[in-house]
Amino acid sequence: MAVFRNKIQKIIEKFSNLNLEELEQKLNEFNFEELSSLKLPNMSSLEKKDIQKRIDFIQNFSKTQLKYLIDNNIDNLDIFKGNIENYIGLAKVPIGLVGPLKVKGLNAKGVFFVPMATTEGALVASYTRGSIITYLSGGIYSAVLVERVSRAPAFKFLNLIQAGKFTLWAFQQFEKFKEITKYNSKHANLEDMLVNITGNIVYLSLDFTTGDAAGQNMVTIITDEICRFILANSPVKPISFFIESNLSGDKKASYLSYMFVRGKKVVAEAVIDAKLIKKFLNTTAEKINEYVNLSTIAGMQSGTLGAQGHYANALAAIFIATGQDVACVSESAVGITRTELIGNDLYINVNIPNLIVGSVGGGTSLPTQKECLEIMNCYGDSNANKLAEIIGATVLAGELSLIGSIAANDFAKAHKKYRKKISN
């Protein structure tokens, strides 16, 4: 990564004043006695006495008296088992409702109010405006088209010939890999296996469906079992292997999002009446379409993966509210927003190729997260695709509102109205 000339000059001047011998000596010192005194007690324990020990430790260490962080009304803390370590309290993020959102999906049908956990003023208001406009326009069509969750182990061999022999053998084991999948999970199914040979390295991309769970941990455990079978039975023994090669795109924005699917591919669309655009957005379909085309070109020039306004805003807020893996926003927020003119009206479409969400597992069963899912009737089995389609529709509502405000030159005005805490 390049650094500007004046910046690097300041860094060099700062380091030139250091005694490098003293610095090296400090870096090489290992103070295990000090480390032992800094260790938090009983990392996995959720017993109140151990929690209080951790609270006392951090209050003393940081010289901070905790009040709101440690204030909770949950009696049975065992519900957090498997979700947290070194527990001390709860982050209380404000939750607002977006809606009414009318969705015409394959799985989500009806009117919904969508919980969003955020501290960004104007965000919920913007998405609510978009949902109202689309409601009056007849609703949003939303559909999950494809589902896949992948894990990509890598195997290294002496040479290309060994890599080729291994690949031929691995292809023949696909049904066995499916058996291993079924044995280790009631919900997962191995759908496909892609192979990428790079010299003496073979990458296997194992593509699963994971039922109503987001499936990150599920596919990791299954892939580990498949790798164990490979190591025990392959006629060509790998020199080394790694359960994840970084080819799956896990928790990263990647070009694989456009080539394949990791999670759920969701598409949503709506046609917005020109009169509603004028009434609620103070602009026209033509102006919005002009801005979308202009911003797409600018996005290409800046090197963004995808072309859209702010998918991450909706995804992060809904993920936090409903107990999803928030780090998956990095891959889920890659997508494309597209518009067309239909006479004086506006056609708007969002494409989300990498939406990682679940209605069971992970943090979905925690108290507030469960309630947020229940608000949308999306908690439990057979609801993951419904949740994904609601999220797709919410993303579209937010895109329409944001793009409309920029097209009307009202973007700053809305933030001034709803973010009054900020002073000039």
3-class secondary structure for 91-124? CCCCEEEEEEEEEEECCCEEEEEEEEECCCCCHH
Q: Are residue 272 and residue 384 in the same domain, yes or no? A: yes
Distance CA 44, CA 65 (A): 23
Give residue 378's identity as a one-letter amino acid code.
C
Which residues on neighbouring strands pair with residue 103, listed in sequence order? 110, 140
Q: Are residue 270 and residue 408 in the same domain, yes or no? A: yes
Distance CA 246, CA 256 (A): 11
Q: Are residue 171 and residue 107 in the same domain, yes or no? A: no
Q: What is the pLDDT of residues 41-81, one digit of tens each?
A: 888 899 999 999 999 999 999 999 999 999 888 888 888 99
Contact yes or no for 141/269 (Cβ under 8 A): yes
Q: Residue 48, Cβ neighbours under 10 Å: how many?
A: 9
Which residues on neighbouring strands pair with residue 104, listed in sequence order? 109, 141
Q: Which domain holds residue 86?
A: 45-92
Helix, strand and coil content of the chain, in percent to the nearest 5, comes to: 45, 20, 35
Q: Are residue 296 and residue 366 in the same domain, yes or no? A: yes
Q: Are residue 221 and residue 358 in the same domain, yes or no? A: no
Please indicate, yes or no, if residue 316 is contained in any of the structural domains: yes
The CATH number covering residue 203 comes to 3.30.70.420
Distance CA 400, CA 129 (A): 9
Identify the CA nearest to 123 among candidates 103, 97, 141, 93: 97
Please indicate, yes or no, if residue 259 is contained in any of the structural domains: no
Q: What is the pLDDT of residues 182-214, one digit of tens each?
A: 999 989 999 999 999 999 999 999 999 999 999
Q: Are residue 276 and residue 318 in the same domain, yes or no? A: yes
Place of tokens 């928790």: 251
pLDDT score of 423 more than 60: no
321 burial via Cβ count (<10 Å: 0-12, 13-18, 19+): buried
Confidence at 424, pLDDT banded by 50, 70, 90: very low
Q: Write down the pLDDT at residue 18.
A: 65
Please indicate, yes or no, if residue 382 is contained in any of the structural domains: yes
Please indicate, yes or no, if residue 372 is contained in any of the structural domains: yes
Please indicate, yes or no, if residue 381 is contained in any of the structural domains: yes
Cβ partners under 8 Å of residue 124, min gap 6: 96, 97, 98, 116, 118
Please indicate, yes or no, if residue 193 is contained in any of the structural domains: yes
Catalytic residue among 50, 244, 286, 415: 415
Among 92, 116, 131, the domain boundary falls at 92
Distance CA 212, CA 359 (A): 6
pLDDT score of 145 more than 50: yes
Lowest mean pLDDT among 119-123, 138-142, 168-172: 119-123
Among 186, 208, 242, the domain boundary falls at 242
Mean pLDDT (whole number) for 294-302: 92
Q: Are residue 294 and residue 318 in the same domain, yes or no? A: yes
Which residues on neighbouring strands pair with residue 115, listed in sequence order? 97
Q: Write down the pLDDT at residue 15.
A: 64
Could you give the C-alpha distances from 74 to 57, 71, 317, in angstroms and in order? 22, 9, 23
Mean pLDDT (whole number) for 317-337: 95
Confidence at 166, pLDDT banded by 50, 70, 90: very high
Place of tokens 């959720």: 46
Mean pLDDT in the chain? 91
The CATH number covering residue 358 comes to 3.90.770.10
Q: What angle is formed at CA 227 by the lines to CA 221 and CA 231, rounded to 5 degrees?
A: 150
Q: Please report which residue ranges of 137-190 form alpha helices under DSSP H.
A: 160-172, 174-184
Share of the chain above pLDDT 90, in %: 74
Among 242, 277, 310, the domain boundary falls at 242
Please indicate, yes or no, if residue 256 is contained in any of the structural domains: no
pLDDT score of 369 more than 70: yes
Count: domains in the chain: 3
Q: Write down the pLDDT at residue 197.
A: 95
Q: Are residue 103 and residue 87 in the same domain, yes or no? A: no
Contact yes or no for 66/55 (Cβ under 8 A): yes
Cβ partners under 8 Å of residue 147, min gap 6: 209, 210, 261, 263, 264, 265, 385
Q: Are residue 277 and residue 377 in the same domain, yes or no? A: yes
pLDDT score of 414 more than 90: no
Q: Write down the pLDDT at residue 349.
A: 98
Is 325 known to be catalytic?
Answer: yes
Could you tell me the pTM of the whole model?
Answer: 0.90
Catalytic residue among 120, 191, 273, 371: 120
Please indicate, yes or no, if residue 424 is contained in any of the structural domains: no
Lowest mean pLDDT among 68-77, 119-128, 186-195, 398-407: 68-77
Contact yes or no for 248/260 (Cβ under 8 A): no
The distance in angstroms from the start CA to the end CA of the chain is 33
Q: Write down the pLDDT at residue 393.
A: 98
- Burial readout 51-83 (b: 16 or more C-beta within 10 A, e: otherwise): bebbbebbeeeeeeeeeeebeeeeeeeeebeee
Token pair recorded at residue 18 = 């250091």
Q: Are residue 56 and residue 167 in the same domain, yes or no? A: no
Q: Write down the pLDDT at residue 20.
A: 67
pLDDT score of 422 more than 50: no
Is 47 known to be catalytic?
Answer: no
Share of the chain above pLDDT 70, in %: 90
Q: Are residue 333 and residue 399 in the same domain, yes or no? A: yes
Could you give the C-alpha distances from 349 to 58, 202, 388, in angstroms and in order? 49, 38, 15
Catalytic residue among 212, 250, 325, 399: 325
Is 187 known to be catalytic?
Answer: no
Q: Are residue 228 and residue 275 in the same domain, yes or no? A: no
164 burial via Cβ count (<10 Å: 0-12, 13-18, 19+): middle
Q: Write down the pLDDT at residue 421.
A: 54
